[in-house]
Amino acid sequence: MPAVIDIRGVHRIYESAAGYTHALKGVTLRVERGEFLCVMGPSGSGKSTLMNTLGCLDTPTSGTYRLEGVDVSTLTDDELAELRATRLGFVFQSYNLLPRATVLRNVMLPLVYSDCPVSQREQLARKALASVSLPEQYFDHRSNELSGGQMQRVAIARALVNDPAVILADEPTGNLDTATGNMVLRTFRRLRDEGKTIVLITHDAEVADWADRTVHIRDGRLLTDEQERALQAAHPGTRSAT
pLDDT at res. 238: 54
pLDDT at res. 237: 59
pLDDT tens column, 3-62: 999 999 999 999 988 899 999 999 999 999 999 999 999 888 999 999 999 999 999 999
Q: What percent of the chain has pLDDT above 70?
A: 93
Report angle CA 221, 239, 4 to the nearest 5 degrees: 45
Which residue numbers in the chain have pLDDT < 70? Answer: 224-232, 235-242
What pTM does this model have? 0.88
pLDDT at res. 115: 79
CATH match for 33-59+76-241 among 1.10.3720.10, 3.30.70.270, 3.40.50.300, 3.40.50.1820: 3.40.50.300
Is there a contact between 139 and 129 (Cβ–Cβ < 8 Å)?
A: yes
